[in-house]
Structure formats: structure tokens, C-alpha cells
Amino acid sequence: MKYRSDPSTIRGSIAPVVTPFTAEGAVDHDSLAGLIRFQLDSGSHGISLGGSTGEPSAQSAAERIAAMRTAAEVIDDQVPFLPGTGSHKLDETLEITAAARELGADAALVITPYYARPTQEALYQWYATVAREFPDLPVVAYNVPSRTAVDIAPETVRRLFTDFDNFVGVKETTKDFEHFSRVLHACGRELLVWSGIELLCLPLLALGGAGFVSAVANLAPGAVARMYELWEAGDFDAARDLHYRLHPLVDLLFVETNPAPAKWVLAQQGRIASPHVRPPLTTPTETGLTKIRALLIEGRDLTAPIGADK
């Protein structure tokens, strides 16, 4: 909660942690706590939970809130906590966001409502409702059109940023890099923009982005955090080197639908008890595992801690 009053401090690599399940499919809180500690020990600059990588649409509101409670207890204000609280239902979004506020979240990451394909005016009204309901909680829009079938237009972001003091930023998960620039141009550099596209994380920093919420941080948290730190320190060549070295692990994540490949790797590493993903996802196929193993070998040097002197 200590970062809530100044959301501009929520910068760098905000790790979007997977939600571990037991082999029987229940939320595995022990493994989740271990993953959070792993992220903190590896130098991640913040923690997110309940975004797309966390399989929120396959969980009940009560399960999501319980997972947030576990995460908040482990984080304990060491770094910013930015949980995903959105749903395709407004009442559920408000319920989960209220719980996040009470648990000490520093901001709420609210996905655009999926399936319904709302208009831009409807999106404005949706986020306006959330912002009005929680005036003391920073709100970050989560724009991921590949999963929601709707894109938040730069002008809609500008309206929200202008009208609500607690609407502070957007996580952009679109491969249209021009969109990043248009959002920042429309709103100004005060808007906080994080990339959710792994290979656009470093390029966004050149436009003035606040950082990234990159799923590859599940596998190489130290490397992802270090890439941001190197850029901020002006060591652009070293930052670019890490960007390119991360390519195999980025490709690994999407051999099959995220987060199934990442969970399989984390289970192999003993960081979670099971690679279970809930339907409609499945654990990787044998064909997928062949590719995952090969890519993991390519990127194995980045799955170890990245020291400050590297």
C-alpha cells in the first residue's frame, strides 16, 4: 500500500506471476507464496497476479481474492503490488477490486471486458465506474485485444486520464507498436504505460514507458529486471544484449497457450508442485514439449540469477 499514494513509483519489471494449481486443480497457495519469494529474491520491481498469465477467467472471485491475500502477505510492501481485478462482469470487477484495495494493493489492473465487444463510449463508462467507485486506488487499464476482441483507443485513454485523477496508466498488450506512441502522444508522458508484449518491453522504454509486465519474468526474473535497470543506467548496449538473449524464452512461452509452457518449466524446476492448467487450457502436448525443451536449453543461462555485475 505504501506505493499507492505515488503510482509513478510503480516502474520497472512488474512480474505477472502464474497461479499455481495442485494436480487436482485447486489453487496451490504454498507454491504461490514460493513463487512470490522467488520474484522478490530475483530483483523484480513489482508483482502482478491475476492477469492473463494467472488464468483469472478459470477462477471464481473467491479464489482470486484468496490468491491476492497470499500474495499480499508475502510481498508485505517490499515492492508494488498490482493485481489484476477485472472480469467480463462489472459487479465481479468491483468486488475483486474492493478486495484488492482492502488487501493493500498499490493499484488495480483492470482488463477490458471480454466477449461483449463494447464500443469506445462503453469502455469509457466501464472504467469511469471503477475509477469513481475507488477514488483512493490507482486504476490501470489492461488493453489486450488478442484476448478481449476490443482495443482501447488512445482518445478513450486520454478521456479517462483527463477526467479521473486515479486513472493513472495502461498496460498495453498489443503488437501494434504505433499504438504505444499514439497513447503517450495523446496523454503525455505523465501517463504510465507498461508493455505486456515481451519483445516490445525494451523498445517501449525509448518512448518513455514506465516498464513492463512480461510473462517471461516467470522464468528469468533477474534478467528481465536487469534489462530495465541497464536501460535506466544508460547502458543501452547491455540492455539490448539481454533483450536478444531473452528471445528463446519468449518463444518458449508461446509454443502453446500461455501459461501452460511456463507452468511446465516451473514444475520441472521444482518451483511449483504441478504444471496443471485449468480447462479450457491443457498442459503442453508431446510435440510442444519437444520445442519447449529445445528453447529452454537455448535460454538456460538466463534462468539463473543475474548478478549486478553482469
Q: Report, as residue numbers or ranges, the catalytic residues.
A: 142, 171
Distance CA 105, CA 201 (A): 23
Cell 493499484 maps to which residue?
107
Cell 510473462 maps to which residue?
215
**3-state SS of the chain?**
CCCCCCHHHCCEEEEEECCCECCCCCECHHHHHHHHHHHHHHCCCEEEECCHHHCHHHCCHHHHHHHHHHHHHHHCCCCCECCECCCCCHHHHHHHHHHHHHCCCCCEEEECCCCCCCCHHHHHHHHHHHHHHCCCCCEEEEECHHHHCCCCCHHHHHHHHHHCCCEEEEEECCCCHHHHHHHHHHHCCCCEEEECCHHHHHHHHHHCCCEECCHHHHCCHHHHHHHHHHHHCCCHHHHHHHHHHCHHHHHHHCCCCCCHHHHHHHHHCCCCCCCCCCCCCCCCCHHHHHHHHHHHHHCHHHCCCCCCCC
Cell 504461490 maps to which residue?
32
How far the first Cα of the chain sits from its last, in Å, is: 32
Cell 494449481 maps to which residue?
21
CB 209 within 8 A of CB 14: no
